[in-house]
Amino acid sequence: MAFAIQFVIDVLSLGGAYALMALGLVIIYGILRLVNFAYGELIMVAGYTMYLSSGSGLPWLVMATLAVGMAVLFGILTDYAAFRPVRAKSVTAVLITSFAFSNLLQNAALLFISPRPRNVPLPEIFSQTISIGGAITPVRNLITIAASIVLLAGVAFLMRKTTLGIAMRAAATNFTMARMLGVPANLIISSAFALSGFLAGVVGILWIGRIGTVVPGVGLEPLLVAFIATVIGGMRSLPGAVVGGFLLALIDTTLNYTLSQDLLKFRDAFTFSLVILILLWRPQGLIKGPASGQRT
Amino acid sequence: MLDVTDLSVSYGTIRAVRGISFTVGKGELVSLLGANGAGKSSTIKCIAGALKAAGGSIALEGKDITAANPEQVIRAGLATVPETRDVFPDLTVAENLMLGAYIHRRDQAGNRQNLEKLHTLFPRLAERSGQAAGTLSGGEQQMLVIARALMARPSVLLLDEPSLGLAPAIVERIFEMIATLKQSGLTILLVEQNVNQALSVADRAYVMRLGAIVASGTADEIRSGSDLSAHYLGG
């Protein structure tokens, strides 16, 4: 029983984080049909904001809010720096500019802060453990689960019940038609980047909370995870991103539990093999996104 | 109301529209006729702001909208129903209509009133309100797209090939509805390949061929004009 509880908590907390990461990536992809390769750096920005504000004596929640705010700001900045100037020209151009922006931010962190890990302030509760039905688990896993539930519900509400969200879904299927109804293109795109930055910021704090330190390359793994989760779930579908995130977490956690010590270091190879199998079975991803739509 | 002067549209080096001029007066229903590839849809897209003009000008109620982008054109009071019948398939009928009123989103009372009016005009849409738009039939989708355009309360409505790919009985209904809209005082520019249907509701018409206007006049004049069929048959 304790084992089962432990397993479920592990899957849900990892899956929640993966799902949020994937959602942040797919929101941009759905509207622009472009992968934002600078997405991982938003997580890095959140981490370094925490590190830089650690000496300020501010309450932790204020620092965390500041970190999320900076991720939002850099999300919008990504649009202005890497996407907007070349958006109309070519996919290749944006691919390169978003890589360049990612590199720029990473190197700025290397140069101005340090290549070495920096400590991120974390509240005591992040390192505490709790026993539930005999299973001992870090409290931060439960915080991650709670945060993912709140955020996933929040995003669902935004996308289904608000005019902005419905306009974003419409723009994701047919951008030109949405504009013909008076939906301003730039507002929609900036909102998508802001929302993506918000998710990256929150997930960044939770993610970095597992290790307690931030390095310039901290965003690489989340970007990869988000990318794989969206590919499994379906690149164009928001529910798909969430499903993909949880499925990937289920695979990872199962392998963590079942692989022997010797094989554990090859876990990613097993994960990716399974991902390939899933894609052979469903090349479109598990959930197909909106039918039509060309790149805008 | 809508004045197009010497308008040209190009795709790269290909000129799809070669300096055409026409006007649509207030409350008038003017039809733009022509075979496939005559440049009708390019003209519409250009007026709607989805394509840039290579030359000439477009004015709406005296205001120049030649360089306006799509979101500015709808705000100026011109709504477009594209030929591709672009419903948002994953959104419900109600959400589609709500987005039609995007530019009036602060006036919810006015939108509700307008929606009620449209629901009496299109009872089918009221019945299917909660259904995903992609599950509607072609005719219903066409009605939804027209109703969605009307949610913007435009002063001019551009209809691009509303009969395209629909069964004759449904085409009949769509044209009845266009006649109703005209009676309500709406200014309409109707692009059609279906000449007889278009002329049955239009006040005046222009005939396009190979990117130029080759004939114009009242609906009766065009109908009796001996050269019309020649333009269609390419003679």
CB atoms inside a 10 Å sphere around CB B76: 18
Please give the pLDDT value at position B155: 94
Structural tokens at position B77: 């009071």
Cα A191 from Cα B114, distance rounded (Å): 29
Cα B68 from Cα B71, distance rounded (Å): 8
Nearest to B159 by CA among B150, B146, B148, B175: B146
- pLDDT at B234 > cutoff 70: no
Cα A225 from Cα A40, distance rounded (Å): 10
| Mean pLDDT, residues A144-173 taken together | 91
| Of the listed ranges A59-63, A96-100, B103-107, B226-230, the one predicted with least confidence | B226-230
| Torsion angle of C-alpha atoms A50, A56, A57, A61, degrees rounded to 10 | -30
At B168 the three-state DSSP class reads: helix
DSSP character at residue B26:
T
**Average pLDDT over chain A, rounded to an integer:** 89
Nearest to B85 by CA among B142, B131, B41: B142
**Across the interface, do B95 and A166 touch by the CB < 8 Å criterion?**
yes
Q: For B99, which of A167, A176, A291 is closest by C-beta distance? A: A167
Q: How far does CA A69 lie from the centroid of its chain?
A: 15
Q: For A181, which of B50, B89, B100 is closest by C-beta distance? A: B100
- pLDDT at A295 > cutoff 60: no
| Structure confidence by residue, pLDDT tens digits, A51-108 | 999 888 889 999 999 999 999 999 999 999 988 888 777 778 888 898 999 999 999 9
Please give the pLDDT value at position B226: 57
Please give the pLDDT value at position B37: 82
At B128 the three-state DSSP class reads: coil
Longest dimension (CA), chain A: 59
CATH number for the domain harbouring residue B59: 3.40.50.300
**DSSP states of chain A as a string?**
-HHHHHHHHHHHHHHHHHHHHHHHHHHHHHHHS---TTHHHHHHHHHHHHHHTGGG---HHHHHHHHHHHHHHHHHHHIIIIITTTTTT-HHHHHHHHHHHHHHHHHHHHHHT-SS-EE----GGGG-EEEETTEEEEHHHHHHHHHHHHHHHHHHHHHHHSHHHHHHHHHHH-HHHHHHTT--HHHHHHHHHHHHHHHHHHHHHHHHHHHSEE-TTTTHHHHHHHHHHHHHH-TT-HHHHHHHHHHHHHHHHHHHHHS-HHHHTTHHHHHHHHHHHHHHH-TT-SS---S-----
**Run of H or E including B208:** strand B204-209
Query: With the C-alpha atoms ordered B109, B114, B115, B116, is the resulting torsion angle positive or negative?
Result: positive
| Mean pLDDT, residues B56-76 taken together | 93
Cα B50 from Cα B41, distance rounded (Å): 11
**Across the interface, do B86 and A177 touch by the CB < 8 Å criterion?**
yes
Ordered structural domains, chain A, with CATH: 2-281 (1.10.3470)
Q: Which residue of A has its CA nearest to B50?
A: A176
- pLDDT at A147 > cutoff 90: yes
| Mean pLDDT, residues A156-172 taken together | 90
Cα A16 from Cα B74, distance rounded (Å): 41
Query: What is the number of alpha carbons within 13 Å of residue B116 lying toward its C-beta?
Result: 5
Chain B residue numbers with beta carbons less than 8 Å from the beta carbon of A178 are 88, 99
DSSP character at residue B132:
B
Cα A243 from Cα A112, distance rounded (Å): 38
Please give the pLDDT value at position A199: 95
Please give the pLDDT value at position B233: 47
Structural tokens at position A20: 């949020």
**Across the interface, do B98 and A181 touch by the CB < 8 Å criterion?**
no
| Residue A83 distance to chain B (closest CA, Å) | 19
For chain A, percent of residues with pLDDT exceeding 70 = 97
Which residues of A make CB contacts under 8 Å with B? 163, 166-167, 169-170, 173-174, 176-185, 290-292
- pLDDT at B15 > cutoff 70: yes
| Structure confidence by residue, pLDDT tens digits, A36-53 | 999 999 999 999 999 999
**Across the interface, do B88 and A179 touch by the CB < 8 Å criterion?**
no
| Structure confidence by residue, pLDDT tens digits, A228-278 | 999 998 888 888 999 999 999 999 999 999 988 888 888 889 988 998 998
Answer whether A233's CB lies under 8 Å from A285's CB.
yes
**Across the interface, do A182 and B49 touch by the CB < 8 Å criterion?**
no
Please give the pLDDT value at position B196: 86
**Across the interface, do B90 and A166 touch by the CB < 8 Å criterion?**
no
Domain that holds residue B21: 2-233
- pLDDT at A35 > cutoff 80: yes
| Of the listed ranges A39-48, A164-173, A236-245, B219-228, the one predicted with least confidence | B219-228
Chain A residue numbers with beta carbons less than 8 Å from the beta carbon of B71 are 179-180, 182-185
Number of domains in chain B: 1
Per the listing, tokens 């089962």 go with A4
**Across the interface, do A181 and B134 touch by the CB < 8 Å criterion?**
no
